[in-house]
Amino acid sequence: MRIVGLILVLLAVWLLLSGIYTPLIIGFGIASCILVALIVRRMDVLDHEGLPIQLGLGIIPYWGWLFIEIFKANIDVAKCILFPKKYLQPSLFSCKITQKSDLGKVIYANSITLTPGTVTVDLHEDTVLVHALTKLAADGVKSGDMDQRVTDVMGEA
């Protein structure tokens, strides 16, 4: 099942990026995706983290929510650039996380880092060390909303 999922993901990415939809080129694309999937299978490197099918469609609303948070954080960082004395309040703090799996922890840490104004400095066991540029960004991480959303997506609640 993972091989079929990998072929479909590779094919979707290839179709989106190629932009050429003639029968010959599509045939080459399908053949190359199948060849890559066979090589991956032979190398035995396809696991649940390499192709996280278990996340299912629940990850899509999370991506939408994360996109909105990234947009709001961009505005917060722009305020820091324009008015540093008023908005810039850097802080380094640690927070407990509720994810159990390594994949969940990585998704959470990467989500923090993707959000402008915050960076995951360290991830250890059930604690994440975060650097934030503003009090608003720090409060956003400390509120636990992102942590809970990632836990819900992973089905670890």
Residue extents of the structural domains in the chain: 2-43, 53-154
Q: Which residue has the tokens 């299912």?
A: 56
pLDDT for position 108: 93
What percent of the chain has pLDDT above 70? 92
Scanning the chain, the segments in alpha helix (DSSP H) are 2-18, 23-43, 59-82, 84-87, 102-114, 135-142, 145-154
- Two tokens, residue 81: 């650039």
pLDDT for position 114: 94
Pairing of strands 91-96, 118-124: unpaired
134 neighbors 117 (Cβ within 8 angstroms): yes
pLDDT band at 135 (very low <50, low <70, confident <90, very high): very high
pLDDT for position 103: 84
pLDDT for position 157: 60
Buried b (16+ CB within 10 A) or exposed e, 80-101: beeeeeebeeeeeeebebbbeb
CATH of domain 53-154: 3.30.1370.10
pLDDT digits (tens, 9 = 90+) for 48-87: 656 666 667 778 899 999 999 999 999 999 999 999 999 8
pLDDT band at 129 (very low <50, low <70, confident <90, very high): very high
The SS3 call for residue 132 is strand
pLDDT for position 51: 61
